[in-house]
Amino acid sequence: MIPKAKERLEAIELRQRGLSYTEIRERIPVAKSTLSLWFKQVKLSRPQKQRLTEKKRLAGLRGALQRHNQRVELRNKIVTKAATEIGNLTERELWLIGVALYWAEGSKEKDKRSSRVQFGNSDPLMIKIFIRWIMNVCGVSRDQMRFDLYIHKESKNSIELVKDYWNGVITCSTVHGIYFKKGNPKTKRSNTGISYYGLLRVTVFASIQLNRKIEGWIKGINEISSPY
């Protein structure tokens, strides 16, 4: 069917006003390929081109936001469902979790040099689990622990905010020492903004023998899980 001349003229007029293909098709229901044929000779002014470019940019942003929201929604569903699969932790499970954490992030004896129990991390949830483990499993009281903050010197201006943050994590205790690490102005670290709270190190006093006991637990896990 040959498109009506009236529709063609109306479509060209709308295009010359700077309307997009989508906007025009909402008024004149024809195929996109038909519009392309009609608009071959249509010249647009600079403002009209700018309007179409801006509409395309905004449409792209809306699409990206929609995809982002879909990813977030899917992630939240997966995380929420997976969290319910854990259930309650037994004492033995907590014991093994703590040993594995210490294996990864705790201090160990090197070259027969004695070392106290020390655990450091920037993840507040990991710090909480370690404190629960060291108290409930290892029988360490809070007054046997010291909490020190290690943070880049560029964060000096926000140090009170950082201290409040960690004091809220450890509760019933406070950050003792603050140690500033030399910063690099050209650093490629991504956690340099307001969400950067440094690293908290937990030290247990008079814990050399406990550290050796933990070393034995780690050895036991390694021997049992080794396939060789």
Half-sphere exposure of 195 (CA within 13 A, CB side): 5
- The burial of 166, by beta-carbon neighbours within 10 Å (0-12 exposed, 13-18 middle, 19 or more buried), is given as buried
Q: Tell me the sheet residues that pair with 120.
A: 201
Token readout for 147 is 């909490």
Enter the pTM of the model. 0.70
- The CA distance from 129 to 31, in Å, is 61
45 has pLDDT over 80: no
Supply the pLDDT for residue 188. 56
Q: Which residue has the higher pLDDT, 22 or 208?
A: 208
89-146 pLDDT, tens digit each:
899 999 999 999 999 999 988 766 789 999 999 999 999 999 999 999 999 999 999 9
User: Do residues 147 and 116 make contact, with C-beta atoms less than 8 angstroms apart?
Assistant: no
Secondary structure (3-state) at 195: coil
Whole-number pLDDT of residue 128: 95
pLDDT score of 17 = 81
Q: What is the mean pLDDT of residues 207-222?
A: 94
pLDDT, tens only, 135-184: 999 999 999 999 999 999 888 888 999 999 999 999 877 889 999 987 65
pLDDT the model gives residue 79: 95
Q: Which amino acid is at 84?
A: T
Q: Are 151 and 197 in contact (CB under 8 A)?
A: yes
d(CA 203, CA 206): 10
